[in-house]
Structure 1
């Protein structure tokens, strides 16, 4: 297990950026500001977000997989035993290109996502 991992962080209203993070649960919680929820994005990558992905407590951030992810989240490599690995350069470029612009959301989108949001 890596002691520090490279992650791509997505904050509401900002472009994504790279951070090095200590590879422990407390550090994950610090980034997402609460308990973590992990969603497999593909065979190599996971999205780690706040487990309480609800409004109005967390600001809407990005669309991912038909769902609006709220609050700060990060993407890392799928790891073992509840830990993660460093995001690969290939995955970093892919997700940066796809989600590099901060999004804005209409009230209608936010209402519909809360009720009908598709979840991973």
Structure 2
């Protein structure tokens, strides 16, 4: 039986919402709607996990990529903590910081022309 971890789920056009899920590949794939891509390392030891084929599948643009301002994340993604090669629950401080960071909907973020 897998451990459950506390994460944030970020859907296009919606505010981030906390969720508790099993720490399994299958649970993460169900949230993002396909194969996962884990590799967007954020401050405070937070991992952004998204659908690795989101753009190819033409999923709705969600938020600007926080590590590449010229790029965006397509489709629903999730945030969790990590310790070495293992995913962990977000701490209350991590959850609060990233709920605020991703509160603005849309991939355009604060872009100005």
TM range (shorter): 0.7 to 0.9
Q: What is the RMSD computed on CA atoms of the aligned residues?
A: 2.0
What TM-score comes out, normalization by structure 1 length? 0.77
Query: Mind listing any 5+ residue stretches in structure 1 that lack a counterpart?
Result: 110-120
Which residue of structure 2 lines up, in the alignment, with residue 98 of structure 1?
A: 101
Per-residue Cα deviation, 1:20-56 (whole angstroms, up to 9, x for no partner): 0011100010001111111211351100000113156
Task: Indicate the SS of the match to 2:106.
Answer: coil
Per-residue Cα deviation, 1:51-77 (whole angstroms, up to 9, x for no partner): 113156210000122221010001000
Q: State how many pairs are aligned.
A: 104
- Write out aligned runs for 1:76-115 (5 A): 76-81=80-85, 83-103=86-106, 105=108
Aligned mate of 2:77, from 64, 73, 78: 73
Which residue of structure 2 lines up, in the alignment, with residue 17 of structure 1?
A: 17
* CA positional deviation for 1:79: 3.6
* CA positional deviation for 1:101: 2.3
Question: Contact conserved, 1:8 with 1:74, CA < 8 A, in 2?
Answer: yes
| Stretches (4+) displaced over 4 A | none
User: Which one has a larger percent strand, Structure 1 or Structure 2?
Assistant: 2
Question: Contact conserved, 1:8 with 1:18, CA < 8 A, in 2?
Answer: yes
